[in-house]
Structure 1
Amino acid sequence: MAQGSDQVEQLKRLIQNFVSQLDTPSMPYVNEGLLGTATLTQMSDADREAGKPGFALDSPLGGEPFAVLNPGQASQLRLEATSLKRSGRYLESAEKTIESFRLDGHYDLVNLRNLWKTALCGGDARGAIGLINKAVSTYDRYEIARRHEQLPYPPQDDLADVLEALATEQSCQARLQAFSGNPAYVLPRPYREMRADLQGLASTPATSKSASQTSSGGCYVATAVYGSYDAPEVLVLRKFRDERLENTVLGRAFIATYYALSPTLARHLPRYRGVSGWVRRRLDAVVDHLQTRP
Structure 2
Amino acid sequence: MKSINPEDFRVTDKIELSKTPTELNIDIDDDEKEAELIKIQKKLSKRQDMMYAHNRYSVLICLQGMDTSGKDSLIREVFKEFNSRGVVVHSFKTPNSAELEHDYLWRHYLALPEKGKFAVFNRTHYENVLVTRVHPEYIMFENIPGIEKVEDITPKFWENRMEQINNFEKHITQNGTVVLKFYLHMSKEEQRKRLLKRLENPEDNWKFSTGDLKERELWDDYIRCYEAAINKTSKEHAPWFVIPADDKQMARVIVAKIIWEEMQKLTDIKEPDLDPKVKANIEQYKEQLKG
| TM-score, with structure 2 as normaliser | 0.29
Larger strand fraction of residues: 2
| TM-score, with structure 1 as normaliser | 0.29
Larger helix fraction of residues: 1
Determine which structure has more spread, i.e. the larger CA radius of gyration.
2
Higher relative contact order (CA 8 A, sep 6+): 2
